[in-house]
Amino acid sequence: MEVFFYGLFMDSSILSKNGIQSTNPRKGYLENYTLKIGNRASLIPSKGGKSYGLVMTVNSDKIQSLYAEASVSDYVPEEVEIILDSGEKLKATCYNLPLELLTGTNESYAKSLYRLAQTLDFPKEYLDEIKQMSQKPDGTTG
């Protein structure tokens, strides 16, 4: 199945540690959604927003097992249309946390996601959004 990852699961080594072999990674984005980082990443509807990530082909049974784990069990699958870097549109499953369950902040997660997004060469404006989430309210990162 095709899955759109937008958080740290974009890192195939994290998926591998969880027993998931991903293939055919493709960069793309989901329109009209914005990334928010609470305790973990989530996408919230936002007119005009763009959330970047990777579409990967994964085994459906394995991905269901991954999202059965306690730390991500509240995430629900939804079908979305991703616009790939090539311009092609692709239907994929996106696991997302319902807005009412998005709580807390996690600077460490945001910093890790920022580094990963840099490695994936996502657009500067998107990197800037993630960087803001990795900072304390006073603008520091430490």
Domains defined along the chain, listed by start:
2-105 (3.10.490.10)
- Three-state secondary-structure class, residue 37: strand
pLDDT at 133: 86
pTM of structure: 0.91
Most confident of 12-16, 24-28, 64-68, 105-109: 24-28
pLDDT digits (tens, 9 = 90+) for 67-95: 998 889 999 999 999 999 999 999 999 99
> Is the CB of residue 52 less than 8 Å from the CB of residue 126?
yes
Which is nearest to 105 in space by CA: 9, 34, 40, 10?
40
**Torsion angles phi and psi, residue 124, rounded to 5:** -55, -45
Say if residue 135's pLDDT is above 80: no
